[in-house]
Structure 1
Amino acid sequence: MGEVRIGTSGWVYPPWRGKFYPEGLTQKRELSYLSRQLGSVEINGSFYSLQRPSSYERWAAETPDDFVFAVKGSRFITHMKRLKDGDELLSNYLASGVLALGPKLGPILWQLPPTLKYDPELLTGFFEHLPRTTTEAAKIAERHDHRVDPAHTTTDAERPMRHALEIRHDSYRTPEFLDLLKRHDIALVVADAAGKYPLIEEVTSDFVYVRLHGHDELYVSGYTDEGLDMWAEKVRGWAEQGDVFVYFDNDAKAYAPRDAKALQDRLAE
């Protein structure tokens, strides 16, 4: 059986205070609290801007030894440059502190924009530049430019690096795309997004990455007991093949941490 990690997409949400986070808990202690309730979390601030090495170091220090972070790839790479000019941008992203998470670094999530159609040549070029070990990532990070200061360009040990791709256009519904992911060992994100984006459950790597954005209303609706039972059954099946990472992104009304804990409890039975 593979290892199963259940978490949320991010952790700083005012609506969670007083519902998931106890009254009086300071924002600085929210990650520490969440990390003792769940096994993982997505860092989504890295999607919007380059973070600092000191932030990654602090997040690692605030969490238990067995905690794992998934890190969202920069939207400058995926949405603005649309996977082009990858070398320089990837160097800056990796140098911003990702490797400072050390053994707590989990998969890197690359979320594509809804307007980016399937382009095998573009994807192949992007996949070929992605580091597959932390040692390789450190070498790429060394090529960062002046926009990253301070930079973190070392790794404390060589570890494998995993990558997951979340697609949001129907043109990816093709066997050719799935074969491309398998050749490059990239996990296709299983994304439940209220029917707005493709939901494809093909396993394309040695791990499965799931994002639950809300089954009925995107980012808003909570999951029913029946829905959580269904996802628990799916996760058990995937875990027979390898590791599974599941993140709830239905953050409104503190549904995400509630549902994450409920799914985690089901899988512990």
Structure 2
Amino acid sequence: MDLFVGTSGYNYKEWKGPFYPKELPNKEMLAFYSQQFNSVEINNSFYRVPKPDVVVKWAETVPEGFQFVMKATRRITHFKRLKDVAEETEYFVGIANELRDRLGAILFQFPPNLKKDMERMQTFVDLLPPRLPVAMEFRHDSWYDDELRACLRGHNAALCFAHEDDDTAELVDERFISTADWGYLRLRGSEYGEQEMKVWSQRVLSQDWDRAFVFFKHEDDGLGPKLARGFLDATGV
């Protein structure tokens, strides 16, 4: 299994000192980050779709093998809620493809108040290019059933699991489920101790995946990179 581990975003001035050298220019953050981790989840693309030349520059800045995940624009997931989004989807996918072989996946995160609508979901996934790696994060309980999982498996789309502090072990067992030959995990808790890291690393490594993405959330105190490194240490990578 190829492991791609990192944080949600990288361009945070608060990380100077805890992670980045204090005097590092902002324009050199990505180059520095890509020497520490092999993947990053771009969240700003949710709020504002980057220009093609910006995305090309990202790809040119990082070493071979580095993988970006781009979070899909909220126009698709939150404003239009998957309805009549062919134009927006085609445009965003085109921007993401500017990354070429540095594109790891596109993450579609749906709002908590978007309830299950399989007709709408099926229409949406049919818009996606067949070989495009996509992960989907659902935040309403109604989506978690066999019908959705079958739909995702039919498109080799990963069911993203986002872990929060108050998630029970039963919830993890129920929702950390494979729907593709690759996986996607967002560890959003405020802290993970050494034992918790071992548990999560084993959960990931026990899957029959070709590759897996694991991202820790942005914290102003720079904890995200520390946790990402702790996860890598727990896996022995």
TM-score, normalised relative to structure 1: 0.82
Question: CA 1:30 to 1:191, structure 2 compared with 1: closer, same or farther past 3 Å?
Answer: same
Does residue 119 (structure 1) correspond to residue 123 (structure 2)? The answer is no
Q: Secondary structure of the equivalent of 1:116?
A: coil
Listed as ranges, the matches of 1:22-171 within 5 Å are 22-95=21-94, 97-132=95-130, 160-171=131-142
**Aligned-pair CA distance for 1:44:** 1.3
3-state SS in 1 of match to 2:36: coil
Q: Deviations over 1:236-258 (max 9, x none)?
A: 112x4321111111424211111
Task: State whether residues 109 and 164 of structure 1, in contact with CA within 8 Å, keep that contact through their aligned partners in structure 2.
Answer: yes
Matched residue type, 2:105: P
Secondary structure of the residue aligned to 1:109 is strand
Counterpart contact for 2:55–2:99, Cα < 8 Å: yes
| Runs of 5+ unmatched residues, structure 1 | 133-159, 215-220
Moved more, 13-22 or 70-79: 13-22
SS at match of 2:222: helix
Q: List structure 1 segments (4+ residues) > 4 angstroms apart after TM superposition.
A: 196-199
Aligned to 1:125, what secondary structure does the other structure show?
helix
* Residue 211 (1) aligns with residue 186 (2): yes
Unaligned runs of 5+ in 2: none
Given the alignment, which residue of 188, 194, 197 partners 2:165?
194
SS at match of 1:251: coil
**Which amino acid in 1 is paired with 2:206?**
G
List per-residue Cα deviations over 1:69-123 (Å, max 9, x = no partner): 111111110000000112111122234x322211111111000001101111111
Note the alpha carbon deviations across 1:40-67, whole angstroms, 9 max, x for none: 0011111111110111111111111111
For the structure 1 residues 196 and 119, does the alpha-carbon distance in structure 2 shift closer, same or farther, using more than 3 Å as the test? farther
Contact 2:105-2:133 within 8 A present in 1 as well = yes
Report the equivalent of 2:214.
246
Contact 1:13 / 1:251 at 8 angstroms: preserved in 2?
A: no
Task: Give the whole-Å Cα distance in 2 for the aligned partners of 1:268 and 1:19.
Answer: 23
Return the alpha-carbon distance in structure 1 between the equivalents of residues 151 and 64 of structure 2: 35
**1:236 and 2:209 are equivalent in the alignment:** no
1:13 CA drift (Å): 1.8
Cα distance between partner residues in 2 of 1:125 and 1:60: 31
Distance in 2 of aligned mates of 1:81 and 1:40? 29
Q: Could you state the TM-score of these two structures normalised by the residue count of structure 2? A: 0.93
Identity %: 36
The whole-number CA distance in structure 2 between the counterparts of 1:57 and 1:223 is 34
Aligned residues: 233
**Distance in 2 separating the partners of 1:63 and 1:249:** 21
Q: CA deviation at 1:16?
A: 1.2
| The 10-residue stretch of structure 1 (183-192 or 250-259) with the greater mean CA deviation from structure 2 | 250-259
Matched residues in 2 for 1:34 and 1:46: separation?
Answer: 18
Mark the CA change 1:51 to 1:250 in structure 2 (over 3 Å): closer, same or farther. Answer: closer
Quick one: which of 140, 143, 153 aligns to 1:172? 143
